[in-house]
């Protein structure tokens, strides 16, 4: 099985830590050139250094991906420095406060939707013309267990990740004749820095409590990264519109 990723140009967002970091390292190990995009400058630079130390090629673009100017800079840099974009991984995301709908503030709703759903839309829109011109491209979005079910997070995060699933499937259908594939992973609980800022007594967590028992074994970031790399690779050349749970069977319960 060949991944075909050697020499390919790959953008990974949220690559300064957690799942994105593991994906950036895994793509680099396959010989891909990796653009590490993250809000966290220190984390992004550390990942670039880590890749360069092993003889790989990487560069960092830092900033808030919910801003159009940052999105444009990411796409432009990949095109200028790597000659195009073969793979886009929309992985950056933030958790909500596990708030039930009536407790979601405007600010929480706007921020979570903006980072988790609008930012992937903006970056995909910026990158797509380059993929279409090349006649090929693979997009992999990091959705969530919360994109599959209603019992894994608060209202804002759940809505945003269901949105990511819809965006992925629509992209797959609309561009299926033009060499573009779009897939998503749906991670279950994964050992990263992401933790919800939760008040355990609040209505959201209290209401979800009874459904959390079947979560299963917590995943490593590397297990999520392996699924991302597979979906981006030539090994998945006829797979598009799929949402792949990486969750120790949680979604099957």
**What residues are labeled active site?**
157
Residue in the structure block whose two tokens are 């979906």:
231
Please tell me whether residue 194 binds ligand NAI under the rule CB under 6 A.
yes
236 binds ligand NAI (CB under 6 A): no
Within the chain, where are the H helices? 18-29, 41-53, 68-82, 106-113, 119-134, 155-174, 203-208, 221-232
**CA pair distance 113, 156, nearest whole angstrom:** 7
Does position 20 interact with ligand NAI (CB under 6 A)? The reply is: yes
Q: How far is the CB of 73 from ligand NAI (least distance, A)?
A: 12
91 binds ligand NAI (CB under 6 A): yes
Residue 159 engages ligand NAI in binding (rule: CB under 6 A): no
Q: What's the rounded Cα separation, in Å, for the pair 36 and 77?
A: 11
Asked if residue 124 binds ligand NAI (CB under 6 A), the reply is no
Q: Which is nearer to ligand NAI, 189 or 204 (CB)?
A: 189
Q: Is the Cβ of residue 134 or residue 215 nearer to ligand NAI in the bound state?
A: 215
User: Which range touches ligand NAI (CB under 6 A), out of 17-25, 78-86, 165-173, 232-240?
Assistant: 17-25
- What torsion do the CA atoms of 122, 63, 99, 21 make, to the nearest 10 degrees? 90
Smallest gap, in angstroms, from Cβ of residue 196 to ligand NAI? 10
Residues 143 and 245: their CA atoms lie apart, in Å, by 9
**Smallest distance, ligand NAI to C-beta of residue 70, A:** 7
Can you name the residues that pair with 140 across neighbouring β-strands? 89, 183
**Binding residue (CB under 6 A) for ligand NAI from 3, 124, 142, 251:** 142
């Amino acid at each position: 099985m060949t991944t075909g990723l050697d020499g390919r140009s790959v953008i990974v967002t949220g690559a300064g830590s957690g799942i994105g970091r593991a994906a950036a390292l895994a793509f680099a190990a396959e010989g891909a050139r990796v653009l590490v995009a993250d809000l966290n400058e220190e984390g992004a630079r550390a990942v670039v250094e880590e890749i360069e130390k092993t003889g790989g090629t990487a560069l960092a673009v830092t900033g808030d991906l919910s801003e159009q100017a940052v999105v444009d800079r990411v796409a432009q840099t990949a095109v200028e420095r790597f000659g195009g974009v073969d793979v886009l991984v929309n992985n950056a995301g933030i958790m909500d406060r596990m708030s039930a709908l009536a407790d979601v503030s405007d600010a929480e709703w706007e921020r979570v939707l903006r980072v988790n759903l609008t930012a992937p839309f903006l970056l995909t829109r910026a990158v797509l013309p380059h993929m279409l011109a090349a006649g090929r491209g693979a997009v992999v979005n990091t959705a969530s267990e919360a994109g599959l079910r209603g019992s894994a997070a608060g209202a804002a995060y759940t809505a945003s990740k269901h949105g990511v699933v819809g965006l992925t499937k629509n992209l797959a259908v609309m561009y299926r004749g033009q060499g573009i594939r779009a897939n998503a992973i749906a991670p279950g609980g994964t050992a990263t820095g992401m933790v919800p800022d939760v008040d355990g007594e609040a209505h959201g967590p209290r209401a979800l409590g009874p459904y959390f028992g079947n979560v299963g074994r917590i995943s490593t970031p590397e297990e999520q990264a392996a699924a991302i790399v597979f979906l981006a690779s030539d090994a998945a050349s006829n797979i598009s519109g799929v949402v792949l749970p990486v969750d120790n069977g949680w979604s099957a319960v």
